[in-house]
A = this chain, B = another copy of it.
Amino acid sequence: MSPSPERRRELLATAAEVFAAQGYDATSVRRIADAAGMLAGSLYYHFDSKDSIVEEILRGFLDELWGRYDTVLAAGHEPRETMRALVTESFREIDRHGPAVAIYQKESKALAARERFAFLAASQRKFEQTWLTTLQEGVAAGAFRADLDIRLTYRFVRDTVWVAASWYRPGGRHSPEEIAREYLAMVLDGIAQPHHP
């Protein structure tokens, strides 16, 4: 539609930041336009609607994420390594597209109920499948404890990873790889001192 995809990308980045900071419903189109240095009406030259803006933000994020996830999964690692790679890619995604992830984390549940955002529900199902499979295979292979409640563990893992988007700031003290390592250490081996009485 618009002849300048760069301007589009700039506007999407601006919108994502505002959406992430204030919430989708609480953010007015005018607020985004202000941040972009234009009038509200002018945004409609670039986008069809407010909905289409979040949609594009979320699709962009999920497309990129699944590109990386699929590469990881196609590599056919053993479960522990698969988990490590998925978690690392997730934190990298937070590093690259923090606002988009924050929007996904906060708004996707409400948005997914609407037809336009059915892709969110689809992605979520695929996500769940991926993790459940990985965890099950890990248990089967003896890499993970045999007494794990797989669904519960999946939920904990999923939430902790994404919720990091709400506090992570790029360029801060920890690189995404460091955070991933720390997180995996906690989840895999626990925070308790092993042979403590």
Give the B-binding residues of A (Cβ under 8 A).
Answer: 22-23, 25-26, 80, 106-107, 109-110, 142-146, 148-149, 152-153, 155-156, 159-160, 163-164, 166-167, 174, 179, 182-183, 186-194, 196
Known contacts A188-B190, A189-B192; A149/B182 CB under 8 A: yes
With known contacts A155-B164, A186-B190, A190-B188, A23–B110 Cβ distance under 8 A: yes
B110 pairs with A22, CB closer than 8 A: yes
Copies in the complex: 4
Closest residue of B by beta carbon distance from A146: B193
Report whether B159 and A192 are in contact in the complex, using a CB–CB cutoff of 8 Å. Answer: no
Partner among B26, B110, B144 whose Cβ is within 8 Å of the Cβ of A192: B144
| Chain A binding surface SS class | helix
Bound-state Cα–Cα, A41 to B149, Å: 47
Q: Are A196 and B164 in contact (CB under 8 A)?
A: no
A152/B166 in contact, CB under 8 A: no
Known: A106-B106, A159-B164, A196-B143. A191 touches B148 (CB 8 A): yes
Asked if A193 contacts B143 (CB within 8 A), the reply is yes
Q: Is the CB of B145 within 8 A of A193?
A: yes
> In the assembled complex, which residues on chain B have CB atoms less than 8 Å from the CB atom of A144?
191-193
Partner of A160, one of B22, B143, B159, B174: B159
Which among B26, B80, B156, B182 is the interface contact of A110 at CB below 8 angstroms?
Answer: B26
Nearest B residue (CB) for A166: B109
The 7 closest A-B CB pairs, nearest first, are: A190-B190, A25-B25, A189-B190, A159-B163, A188-B192, A25-B26, A160-B160
